[in-house]
Amino acid sequence: MILPIVAYGDPVLKKVAEEIPKGEDLTQLIADMYETMYTASGVGLAAPQIGLSKRLFVIDAGGFEDSEYPDLKKAFINPVIVEEMGEDWPYEEGCLSIPGIRAAVERPESLIIEYYDENWKKHKEEYSGMAARVIQHEYDHIEGILFTDHLSPLKKRLYKSKLINISKGIVDAAYRMRFPVKR
Ligand code: NI
């Protein structure tokens, strides 16, 4: 089932998401999140973006040209980034909750992450490059952080009116969204 994507300005996007009880059956939710993400042409989607304050995100980040991970379709449940390594590097990020805005964000080159998969098997893996980038962006979502929070005060001011418009639904998105502010 395709779910509406929560737009910028919804308080759920600013909340630290809740840990998921171990063993909970997330099969349907994860399937719905993939379907929603693919329909919106995204490479990642976090549970708060569909209005659920849960520590869960899905990615499909294998499509990048320089990818060391050609098959990176994965669900991350109760993930913990245990370490970030390397130099910060900039990349123009976007977000399905913030359509029409892209801006360069600096993030460390690589990371080590612990998480459970949909069968509640625990993993500890290292990622770098674009894969790490997508994971960092989605991980931020479950910590209540948006990529726009990383921008300089000047850039934030530049995007302010656009962001207010997004929260009111004054925006073109090619997918179904849910807007927090009634017009
Ligand atoms: Ni996002």
pLDDT in tens, 73-110: 999 999 999 999 999 999 999 999 999 999 999 999 99
Distance 43 CA to ligand 1 centre (A): 9
Whether residue 52 is contained in a domain is answered as: yes
What is the count of structural domains for the chain?
A: 1
Whether residue 131 is contained in a domain is answered as: yes
Q: Is 138 an active-site residue?
A: yes
pTM for this predicted structure: 0.96
Distance 57 CA to ligand 1 centre (A): 10
Distance 122 CA to ligand 1 centre (A): 24
Type of residue numbered 58: V
* In the predicted structure, residue 24 carries a pLDDT above the cut 80: yes
* In the predicted structure, residue 19 carries a pLDDT above the cut 90: yes
What DSSP string describes 146-168?
Answer: -GGGGS-HHHHHHHHHHHHHHHH
Distance CA 45, CA 141 (A): 9
Residue 172 near residue 7, CB atoms below 8 Å: no
Whether residue 183 is contained in a domain is answered as: no
Whether residue 13 is contained in a domain is answered as: yes
Whether residue 58 is contained in a domain is answered as: yes
Give the residue from 160, 144, 156 showing the smallest Cα distance to 11.
144
The active-site residue out of 24, 83, 118, 138 is 138
- Predicted local distance difference test score (pLDDT) of residue 183: 63
Half-sphere exposure of 182 (CA within 13 A, CB side): 0
CATH of the domain at 97: 3.90.45.10
Range of the domain at 48: 5-178
- Predicted local distance difference test score (pLDDT) of residue 67: 66
- Predicted local distance difference test score (pLDDT) of residue 10: 97
- Predicted local distance difference test score (pLDDT) of residue 151: 96
Whether residue 145 is contained in a domain is answered as: yes
Q: Are strands 56-60 and 44-46 parallel, antiparallel or unpaired?
A: antiparallel
Whether residue 152 is contained in a domain is answered as: yes
Distance 120 CA to ligand 1 centre (A): 24
Distance 140 CA to ligand 1 centre (A): 8
Whether residue 125 is contained in a domain is answered as: yes
